[in-house]
Structure 1
Amino acid sequence: MSKQFFSSLAVAFKMSILTILSILTFAMPVWALNYNNRALTNSDFSHQDLTDSSFDHANLRGSDFSYSNLRGVRFFSANLAGVNFEGADLRNADLESTRMTRANLTNTVLEGAFMTNAMLQGATIDGADFTNALFRPDTEKMLCEIATGTNPTTGRNTKDTLFCP
């Protein structure tokens, strides 16, 4: 066998390896990623499946998570001011100690979400479902004052999910 044959074979092998690595690098799914401690202001995460991903201590101010699957996502102590969560599924999400001022939670499903110490001043909660969500009594009282609508996914009235009087 000639030297040229082995040289061509080596080049073909290297090209195959590069192709495989490129596919693996750029075809990774978006879900279950770690965005902890990242500055991601005004980012577009809309219409994505981010199940079980982590955004702990991330700055996501003004970002768009509308109509995304955010089940089990961790946002512990994240800055979510002005974030759009419209129509998102946040079941069993960790929203503890988050800043959610002026966040849009319209038609969001927050069943079983952990929201202790979440700051929700100025948030829009029309049609949000808070069934079994955990938050402080003063936060519940504040949300009851502005609660309206029925969630189109679960069919539950927002005031009922908050146990408003």
Structure 2
Amino acid sequence: MVWLKRAWALLLLLAVFCAGSPAWAFEGIDYTLTNQNEADFSSRDLADTSFAGASGRHANFSGSDLHGAIFTQASFPEADFSDANLTNVLMDKVDFSGADFSNALLAGAIASGSSFIGATVTNADFSDALIDRLDQRSLCKEASGSNPITGVDTRSSLGC
């Protein structure tokens, strides 16, 4: 129950902090605290959508536009984010273990406290993303390629 209180407190804080800022205003669908295990969100427009506190093991987000979405305090192990646009996404304290971020755009994402253990990041762009040092080191061990859209080298975008 403590995580639920923290999730709501964080959402309230975000609402207060972002009030009057159209770039961060919540406009998408609200999947907060829902079970999205095995869900198929492939090739969908999910910009500014909230998945705060949600679970989505094996969820498919391949090719989706998720820019500005909220994934805070959630669990998406082994989810497919390949070819997805995750720019400026808030993804703090999220379990992304074993997730596939191949060809994904994660520029400007905030991923503090998240876990990317075993995640695939081939051709991903993490430019200006905030990632914990431990995850950054782990991702650098397997990172390779360049993003097909931005041309940015994955290792360089991670600061390897």
Bucket of the pairwise TM-score, normalised by the shorter protein: 0.7 to 0.9
Correspondence for 2:29: 33
Structure 2: which 5+ residue stretches go unaligned?
Answer: 1-26
How many residues are paired up?
Answer: 134
Whose Rg is larger?
A: 1
Following superposition, the deviation at residue 77 of structure 1 comes to 1.1
Amino acid at match of 2:134: D
Q: Does 1:85 align with 2:81?
A: yes
Q: Does 1:128 align with 2:124?
A: yes
Distance 2:135 2:117 in 1: 9
TM-score between both structures, scaled by the size of structure 2? 0.82
Correspondence for 2:158: 162
Please state whether the residue corresponding to 1:159 is helix, strand or coil. Answer: helix
The root-mean-square deviation of aligned C-alpha atoms, in Å, is 0.8
Following superposition, the deviation at residue 135 of structure 1 comes to 1.2
Correspondence for 1:99: 95
4+ aligned runs moved over 2 Å, structure 1: none
Percent of pairs identical after alignment?
A: 34
Please state whether the residue corresponding to 1:148 is helix, strand or coil. Answer: coil
TM-score between both structures, scaled by the size of structure 1? 0.80
Following superposition, the deviation at residue 137 of structure 1 comes to 1.1
Correspondence for 1:45: 41
Task: Give CA-to-partner distance per residue, 1:7-31, whole Å, 9 cap, x none.
Answer: xxxxxxxxxxxxxxxxxxxxxxxx7
Distance 1:147 1:42 in 2: 26
